[in-house]
Amino acid sequence: MSLRLGDIAPDFEQDSTDGKIRFHEWLGSSWGVLFSHPKDFTPVCTTELGYTARLQKEFEKRNVKVLAVSVDDVESHKRWSSDITETQGYAVNFPILGDPDRKVAKLYDMIHPNANDTLTVRSVFIVDPNKKIRTVITYPASTGRNFDEILRVIDSLQLTDKYTVATPVNWKFGEDVIIPPSVQDPEVIKQKYPKGFKALKPYLRVTPQPNH
Ligand code: BEZ
């Protein structure tokens, strides 16, 4: 059965470009992004890994560790990494799991046989410090992902874990957020949203981002 939001991210031990990784232990108290790419030495994957390396400081700021995986082996990842540096201008600064036995790909249902029966699709799992899966995204091999969007989702998750708010369409850090309809008590509203709010409809109330 495929993994769902709120499930505990399956633990595994697998070799990587940084040596053996025990996933849960490696995550420690960090958030994690585990993402698969179909194959080494392919164009779209090369751009994705280069861009993720470029965003490394942004992931660190948010206490997020990034881990890539494909069914190629670690030696192949290491050889490919120099092409990524050369063509994308950023050296891969996060581990890439070798998964030739497809242990991780199977655990996370990253091979979709009706798309391709051997290669992983472009899966993304965002995992919180309690090891719970908080986001699942799946893209086809022919479409490179938007890693700025992954950061945006992490910003939303971290904000909404801390404050009783939700984030609207295309929200970016610093913009107004939504007061959930479940919050109705005027005293609670005053205490939780000291910056005030605007009610466009009784169920659609916006307030400035509490921590910005
Ligand atoms: C790519 O990364 O360019 C790619 C990989 C597998 C299938 C199609 C494209």
At 46, which CATH number?
3.40.30.10
According to the model, what pLDDT value does residue 2 have?
A: 87
Distance 80 CA to ligand 1 centre (A): 14
The answer to the question of residue 152 being in a domain is no
Q: Whose CA is nearest to atom 7 of ligand 1?
A: 141
According to the model, what pLDDT value does residue 1 have?
A: 65
Q: Is the C-beta atom of 121 inside 6 A of ligand 1?
A: no
The answer to the question of residue 60 being in a domain is yes
Atom of ligand 1 nearest to the CA of 116: 7
Mention every residue, 6+ apart, whose C-beta is less than 8 A from residue 179.
164, 165, 189, 192, 193, 197, 205, 206, 207
CA separation for the pair 122, 43 (Å, rounded): 14
Q: Is the C-beta atom of 45 inside 6 A of ligand 1?
A: yes
Q: Is the C-beta atom of 186 inside 6 A of ligand 1?
A: no
According to the model, what pLDDT value does residue 150 have?
A: 98
Task: State the catalytic residue, choosing from 9, 21, 45, 159.
Answer: 45
- pTM over 0.75? The answer is yes
The answer to the question of residue 2 being in a domain is no
Q: Is the C-beta atom of 39 inside 6 A of ligand 1?
A: yes
Q: Domain boundary residue among 89, 117, 144?
A: 144
Together in a domain, 97 and 137: yes
Together in a domain, 22 and 90: yes
Q: Would you call 45 a catalytic residue per the annotation?
A: yes
Together in a domain, 180 and 133: no
Residue 110 is given by DSSP the state -
The answer to the question of residue 53 being in a domain is yes
The answer to the question of residue 20 being in a domain is yes
Q: Is the C-beta atom of 50 inside 6 A of ligand 1?
A: no
According to the model, what pLDDT value does residue 33 have?
A: 99
Q: Domain boundary residue among 117, 144, 171?
A: 144
Together in a domain, 54 and 91: yes
Q: Which residues pair with 137 in a beta bridge?
A: 124
Where residue 43 falls (left for φ over 0; alpha for ψ -120 to 50; beta otherwise) is: alpha
Distances (CA, A) of 2 to 35, 184, 194: 15, 36, 41
Question: pLDDT tens digits, the chain, 212 residues: what are they?
Answer: 689 999 999 999 999 999 999 999 999 999 999 999 999 999 999 999 999 999 999 999 999 999 999 999 999 999 999 999 999 999 999 999 999 999 999 999 999 999 998 999 999 999 999 999 999 999 999 999 999 999 999 999 999 999 999 999 999 999 999 999 999 999 999 999 999 999 999 999 999 999 99
Domain that holds residue 203: 163-207
Atom of ligand 1 nearest to the CA of 46: 2
The answer to the question of residue 212 being in a domain is no
Q: Is the C-beta atom of 141 inside 6 A of ligand 1?
A: yes
**Count of domains observed in the chain:** 2
Together in a domain, 135 and 168: no
Atom of ligand 1 nearest to the CA of 47: 2
Length of the chain: 212
Together in a domain, 95 and 195: no
CA separation for the pair 179, 192 (Å, rounded): 10
Q: Which residue's entry shows tokens 């919180």? A: 128
Together in a domain, 26 and 98: yes
Together in a domain, 61 and 121: yes
Q: Domain boundary residue among 111, 144, 177?
A: 144
Together in a domain, 86 and 181: no
- H/E segment holding residue 14: strand 13-14
Together in a domain, 132 and 65: yes
Together in a domain, 186 and 130: no
Whether the CB-CB separation of 111 and 120 falls below 8 Å is answered with yes
Together in a domain, 134 and 178: no
